[in-house]
Amino acid sequence: MKNLFSVEGKVTVVTGGSRGIGLMIARGFVENGAKVYVSSRKADACDKAAAELSKLGTCISVPADVGTEAGAKALTAAVAARESAVHVLVNNAGANWGAPLAEYPDEAWDKVLAVNLKSVFHLTRAMLDLLVKGAKPGDPARVINIGSIDGLRAPILETYAYSASKAGVHHLTRVLAQQLASRNITVNAIAPGPFESKMMAETLRNFRDAIVGSCPLGRIGEPEDMAGTTIFLASRAGAYLTGTVIPVDGGISTRG
């Protein structure tokens, strides 16, 4: 029981790992002894994040654009060149687009669905062989998808493609969980509420007091909240969960 939450030595891939929630997750795994590959579309940002995290443990930069199927395959090939197995895949890469209903462009749907939803499918499929090799009896390989509470309930802001894509991530999580259980791979999702990130920066700048006021726990999420939930799902403590969507939102989603 003493190692119930250990992720030490686990090969972990985190997309969108150069900033925001992805960086919070990557840092948590590195600090707890995992070997972490961080990926993001911008090579400079990815390299910078990996260099920073390498001061705390083992972190390798693998830039890739997972918004395309080719990018997902390229990332997988880069990891496979270094590792024979992957124990944890965190599908965190995300994009947002806000605009009034009458002006909401079709390109927003293409971009947001490609990064937020299609990338989860493409990368999980591409890394399937590595995940199967990383699975052990009683310690399955883990796929952890980052959704959003905006995929659980309708948001106030006009982020149509984002909300729809995150709802899709939650349901794709359930579908993949059912399909991959026989291969000893669990698939779960986390639905974050408000956290300090580039994506949330403008919203928090304009609505911080209202958001905090709507949160039963009365605060914005902190890095430990996100890292802790992800590590739980990746550790022995979370080995019997699959197909779940866990809101990490201070209780906001309980208010509908």
* Residues annotated catalytic, as ranges: 162
Helix (H, G, I), strand (E, B) or coil at 244: coil
End-to-end CA distance of the chain: 37
Q: Which helix (H) or strand (E) holds 245?
A: strand 245-248
- CA dist 99 → 109, 152, 159, 161, 207 (Å): 12, 20, 7, 10, 17
Q: Could you give the CA distance from residue 50 to residue 183 in angstroms, rounded to a whole number? A: 31
Helix (H, G, I), strand (E, B) or coil at 217: coil
DSSP for 113-174? HIIIIIHHHHHHHHTHHHHHHH-BTTB-EEEEEE--GGGTS--SS--HHHHHHHHHHHHHHH
Q: Could you give the CA distance from residue 197 to residue 111 in angstroms, rounded to a whole number? A: 19
Phi, psi for 145 (deg, rounded to 5): -100, 135
Fill in the DSSP letter of residue 37: E
Q: Could you give the CA distance from residue 19 to residue 95 in angstroms, rounded to a whole number? A: 13
Going by C-beta distance under 8 Å and a sequence separation of 6 or more, which residues neighbour residue 195? 20, 21, 24, 220, 221, 222, 223, 225, 226
